[in-house]
Amino acid sequence: MSQAIDQRLKTFAVSLLERNGGLVEWPAYLKSGFAVLPSHTAQLLECPENTEITGESVHSGLTINLASMFLQRIERLFPTDASAISLKIDTLYLKKSAMDEPVARAFGFPNARVKVIGASADRVEYQFWHFAAAIESDEKWEDVINFARNSRTGAMLELPDPLSNYDAHPSRPDATTPEMTRVMAQAAAVAARRSQAFVQRLEERMDRDLKRLKSYYHALVDDAADHKIRGAADLEKLDARTRAVELELERKIDELRDRYTLRPELRPIALVRLDAPALRVELNVQRRNAEKRIGIYWNAITKALEPLACSKCAADSFTVHFDDQIQTLCAQCAQA
Ligand SMILES: [Zn+2]
């Protein structure tokens, strides 16, 4: 999974750099490549105009993985790259009654003591992302990934399309750049889920082709071995033939793996930013010796409490664990 995300990030990074005037040479089978960037792009990314580009964290060039600075820096390139629309909903009804019971009903906090402090009217930017996702391989898979998220908590939400919401009117374009690290990870996770059947079908086909190939070449070796061996010369001939067949088989297997290599691409195509009223519910979280205030949101459009996002993997959940720094964790990351 993380390898697939790294691959997607690489493809995303290369196409982003290219669309920002860069020349990138990074063959799929190499761990690093080379980029020549226009000076303003290099300045924004805080790297030389001629730079090595790599997925390895230890490297000194432009490093592209989830842990690197690259994703934070490309936010500076991003707004020019996808079209963004800004909308605003001025007023919506906000729940007035006490939130203790709704929070207790919606959420589970298995490893912390959580108390509702209070609730207050707030405004939240909800982001509606549209990504073009594709995987090139022996066949091509393409899809458009849409998802909505609360920009404060990072939680992914099921929300109605804001473009058909009559309360939402166009507003001044937001100059702030969206936080891309989490967004990319979330888009990659959605794309991975959606393409699962396609990837599985390809893997099955590759396995089948591999089996056929191996049995064909093994039959060739067996055939050769069937000939009567009359002396050392024959034996040598047989060895040579077996070696030739094995080399040919290796070459064919490499070709096959090449043909079935997944080349994923994830490209942001549009962002709708909706500034809407929301009710912020303040929680006090206590775990071991640590204590912290965190906010959750009651969504004024769906009239329901929103889940929280895991600080590690960005998955959202109503069963929220906390680490010793009171960072949110999903059940899976809490176990790891
Ligand atoms: Zn998680």
Segment 308-336, tens digit of pLDDT: 999 888 889 999 999 999 999 999 999 98
Q: Measure 107 CA to ligand 1 centroid, in angstroms.
A: 16
Helices (H), 169-278: 180-194, 196-226, 232-259
Q: Which of 64, 80, 96 is the last residue of a domain?
A: 80
Structural domain contains residue 223: yes
Is residue 149 within 8 Å of residue 185, measured between CB atoms? Answer: no
The whole-model pTM stands at 0.70
Q: For position 255, what pLDDT does the model report?
A: 94
Average pLDDT in the chain? 87
Q: Which of 80, 106, 139 is the last residue of a domain?
A: 80
Number of structural domains found in the chain: 2
Q: Measure 149 CA to ligand 1 centroid, in angstroms.
A: 16
Q: Measure 17 CA to ligand 1 centroid, in angstroms.
A: 30
How do residues 196-219 score in pLDDT, each as one tens digit? Answer: 999 999 999 999 999 999 999 888
Q: For position 248, what pLDDT does the model report?
A: 92
Q: Measure 313 CA to ligand 1 centroid, in angstroms.
A: 4
Structural domain contains residue 36: yes
Structural domain contains residue 146: no
Q: Measure 309 CA to ligand 1 centroid, in angstroms.
A: 8
Closest CA to 27 of 47, 11, 3: 11
* C-alpha dist (Å) from residue 230 to 181, 227, 245: 69, 9, 21
Q: Measure 291 CA to ligand 1 centroid, in angstroms.
A: 21
Q: Measure 134 CA to ligand 1 centroid, in angstroms.
A: 25
Q: Which residues surround ligand 1, an ion (CB under 5 A)?
A: 310, 312-313, 315, 330, 333
* C-alpha dist (Å) from residue 206 to 161, 195, 201, 298: 40, 16, 9, 48
Q: Which of 262, 277, 295 is the last residue of a domain?
A: 262
As a whole number of angstroms, the distance between CA 111 and CA 328 comes to: 11
Structural domain contains residue 18: yes
Q: For position 273, what pLDDT does the model report?
A: 92
Closest CA to 279 of 96, 148, 90, 150: 96
The tokens for 269 are 């195509």
Structural domain contains residue 333: no
Q: Measure 168 CA to ligand 1 centroid, in angstroms.
A: 33
Q: Measure 190 CA to ligand 1 centroid, in angstroms.
A: 14
Q: Measure 116 CA to ligand 1 centroid, in angstroms.
A: 24
Q: Measure 329 CA to ligand 1 centroid, in angstroms.
A: 5
**C-alpha atoms less than 13 angstroms from C-alpha of 155 in its C-beta half-sphere:** 22
Length of the chain: 336
pLDDT digit string (tens) for the chain, length 336 residues: 345 556 666 777 787 788 778 899 988 778 889 999 998 888 888 889 999 998 877 667 788 766 667 766 766 665 545 567 788 999 999 998 999 999 999 999 999 999 999 999 999 999 999 888 999 999 989 888 889 999 999 999 999 988 778 888 888 777 777 878 889 889 988 998 999 999 999 999 999 999 999 999 888 888 777 777 777 788 888 888 889 889 999 999 999 999 999 888 888 888 889 999 999 999 999 999 999 999 999 999 999 999 999 988 888 999 999 999 999 999 999 998
* Structural domain that includes position 221: 199-262
Q: Measure 330 CA to ligand 1 centroid, in angstroms.
A: 4
Going through 65-203 in order, the beta strands assigned E by DSSP cover 83-89, 113-136, 140-150, 156-157, 168-170
Q: Measure 174 CA to ligand 1 centroid, in angstroms.
A: 30
